[in-house]
Structure 1
Amino acid sequence: MRIRVTLAAVLVVGIALVGGALLLVALLGNVLTGQVCQDSHERAAQLAAGNDRPPSTATELIQWVDPATAGARIASPGSGCVAVEPPGYTEDFVFASAASGAGEVIVGRPLVDVLDSTRFVRRVLVVGVPLMMGVVGGVTWLVTGRMLAPVTAIRREVDEITAAELHRRVPAARRDEVGRLATTMNRMLDRLQRSHESRLQFVSDASHELRSPIATIRQHAEVARAYPDRTCVAELAATVLAEDLRMQCLVDDLLLLARADEEPAGCPDTPVDLDDVVFAAARKLREATNLTIETAAVSAGQVRGDRAALARMVGNLAGNAARHARSLVTFSLSESAGGVLLTVADDGPGIAPADRSRVFDRFVRLDAARTRESGGAGLGLAIVAKIVESHGGTIEIDTSPTGGASLVVNLPRAA
């Protein structure tokens, strides 16, 4: 960039200087020639008004023309001036005339001074224009170097930053465009660092979650091999099947979140009766638990989106409420001008306000005493948040009338 800016500056200034030089030489020649013409007119008028007829000299040609004169060497220039090379001379003269009685007097002045002056100016410009272009190029090179030095420092710093050094930042002390560029780069590095740390934490948590069912399967298999007479095949198969199901559910959840991260806007746009989805989830809870499931506050509500994803969202909310509820899970659904409002509440211990902002993070368990069997892998609400976001909605956490947690989802209603 520095080279291109310097070359562009030299080119533009060079074109301007060459054009200006040519114009200067032309104007100077015209002005000096006009001055010689004026002097010739004044001299011709002076001679025509007098009675003397001085002879021609080396710096002044005089020709008197009257009816008695024949074979005049110089044609009459008329009222203007004529620049010609007279016979017997090797240089141009400027001729002017003035009426004298029945004839006229023609006076010529040489252009040698004009030619010398313009020739001198051309020589000066031939030397001066390249020098000026060189000066402009040098100054431009230095100025652009100083201007681009912070950009070069930013580039070198960013080039040296690796995945293990995402904590480093570029200098952003300036308050101009370069400073704003550095600030933008630092914000980008902040996002990269957070993303990298989140990815590392995600991989670590996923590995930890997968290690538990694998260790359980291995433990039971080793016991069965060491004590085959004490091992029941049905019991071993049930254990392996249960742990395999846990791993499958965990992998499915991880794949869903990975696809949501890669394609955050990939969501079908079909009408979905959300009340039907809520009733289906409530029916499953009644069949799987001994809790009281209230659906009296569920009314009609239609949204647009992916029915399977919305069913997964409602199912995760229902499962989360069932794990924490003491005896009651309440569903409510209403439609208004602001959208479709879904609320899933329980009568459990609730969620502290300080923890409400992080329950949607991945692998988060607020109760450290809960086991993976009873509390899951900590991905349910993270999946809920992703599904709600992909459908253009919002989710909030409040306290239910029974003192438990109330998760409120607001989705745009179908047009």
Structure 2
Amino acid sequence: MNRLFFRFFILVMLSISVAAFIVYFTINRLFGDPLEAIARRQAAAQIFLLEQYVDQAPADEWLDRLNKIREVSDVRIDLVPLAIARKSLPEQERDAFERGEVVIDIPHKALFRRVDLAGDKYIGSNEEAIHAQDLPIDIGVALQVEAVRYLIVALALLIPIGFWSRSHWKGLQVLMRVADKFGAGQLKARAQMQPGDSIYPLAERINHMADRIETLLESQRSLLHSVSHEIRTPIARLEFAFELLYDTVQRDQVLQMRIGGMQGDLIELKSLVNELLGMARMDSDAPLRYETFDVTEALRSCANSLPPSPVSLDVAVPDGMGTYYGDQRLLQRATGNLLRNAQKYANAKVALSATRKLGGVTIVVEDDGPGIPESEREKVFEPFYRLDRSRDRSTGGFGLGLSIASKAVNLHGGALKVDTSPLGGARFTITLPAA
């Protein structure tokens, strides 16, 4: 946000500077160089002496009067050949010089003027020019005055613009904080502004958008929650009925096998409902239950709670990793989901490791399985998404484990990413920021 207004300030300053140059060149084009006018005013005394004292002398006395000016003035006055004078002047000034006008040489604090155009006024002067040096010309003060003038103009523009921009900046800061809260899951966050505020219409539209999003999410969560709870009741009745039915057909092994298969389907359906309820709770306004817990103990507990598996589990969680402030239940669930996912696809080995750095925690789960193609690494965190090789019943699951893990980590302000493990399979890395 500050960058936006800094760029605006730079743009205003550049515009004022460009305007100053445009004003200077426009005046120079229409009315002549203003700096030359200033220099001519500063050298007005010497020009007056030449035009009113030397020029008024008789034809044979002008040189005497010029010498008298040399004696009483600090200005150095010389007679130079026309060729030298013409060579010293820029091309755009030579026409004025040839017409007999006084030409100011500002950089050298000097002036040139022909003594006599036709040689009929001053004796022996038609091939000479007066060159006056060390004139009291100082345009630095004039430039400082102009700079102060433009600075006052700039301040006169920038101060009102600053007050006007400040209201916009404060309003945008409010909207940015609301957006951060809303993105963090605080769906009740709204921008509180007065109708007279500059960006009130934008805030109102953002509030309306937030109301609509909150309504849609609430409807989705309510539907998911209600449907899941409604399904639980018939599932419980079916479980009870299957138990009774299984006991009544003890002698019919074929029927027992079919009932066992149906019980497996029912257990799978029950697990799906539990997963959906878990996701619904994570989408609530305040899903986290913060507490301080021991990181080493929590991670080792995840490893110990895994179901039996033919693959080996290498746990490299050092002692004394300290404590972390967060939702222990959610973080253990995220780590457990990653470990169970690794067990499904590993050939022989699963590894769990963790490090602590600058208050944050990094948890790595990797396996030696087939890995995840790079094109599908972002999709595996989507709900119900499963890779083609995991769509059969042998692997189980509903495609919710990784989605739940990602959401649990994101709620803590962390990140979950997947890449290739040195073991040959997939490597999932949980990065939790300092609490």
TM-score (norm 1): 0.45
Larger Rg: 1
Q: TM-score, normalised by structure 2?
A: 0.43
Which structure carries more relative contact order (alpha carbon 8 Å, separation 6+)? Answer: 1
